[in-house]
Amino acid sequence: MRIFSAQGGMLWLLRDGIINPTLSKSEYSKSMQITQNNNTSAYSILSYATGKIRLAMPPHGILPDGASLLSEPDEMNKPTVFDWFKSVIITPTNINTDWKPQHHDEMTINDFAYILEQAPEIVLLGTGKQLVFPPHDILALFSKQNIGLEVMDTPAACRTYNFLMNDSRDVAAAILMIQDS
């Protein structure tokens, strides 16, 4: 993907030979595009910005209520793309949009039951704009279950999730949105 031109306050991108408008110039400068999605059969994170992440949904996926639909699949097997505006848990095979904590101060041990049921090899915890470690009882729970918990800021968690997912690792990402300071 590369920037094709900027007209009328919108950036036009050339993606897979198709020119389409995506973000305003100011929105683009505040967001981060992540590497191209090479795995169209899994949920992947396309970009992140303050207050939202852009996700690609596999053909068998279900669009969550409240998602802002940007594109639907086509005959070229392109994934459905949507924006999400609240905390979320993502695995290659599903998405949990009911994750309660919206800020790192709100995390409790009960908030991680869904992830523990999935029993992934590794969990990436994106804590927002800055890395903030969760309470000790949460760290101890993951250690006791022999599930790796990597705590990082949300941008790093988004990038790392795609890398591990494209490497066919059993990964989950628990993402808190980046908030304005």
pLDDT, position 38: 55
Verdict on whether the full-model pTM lies above 0.85: no
Handedness of CA 114, 54, 155, 162 (dihedral sign): positive
β-pairing, 52-57 vs 44-49, is antiparallel
Q: What is the pLDDT of residues 107-165, one digit of tens each?
A: 999 999 999 999 999 999 999 999 999 999 999 999 999 999 999 999 999 999 999 99
Q: What is the pLDDT of residues 40-86, one digit of tens each?
A: 678 999 999 999 999 998 877 888 888 888 877 666 667 789 999 99
pLDDT, position 145: 95
Where along the chain do its domains lie?
1-30, 31-175
Q: Which pair of structure tokens corresponds to residue 110?
A: 């009960």
CATH of 31-175, one of 2.170.120.12, 3.40.980.10, 3.40.1230.10, 3.40.50.1460: 3.40.1230.10
Q: How many CB atoms lie within 10 A of CB 118?
A: 16
How far is the C-alpha of 88 from the C-alpha of 136, rounded, in Å? Answer: 22
pLDDT, position 112: 96
How far is the C-alpha of 177 from the C-alpha of 172, rounded, in Å? Answer: 16
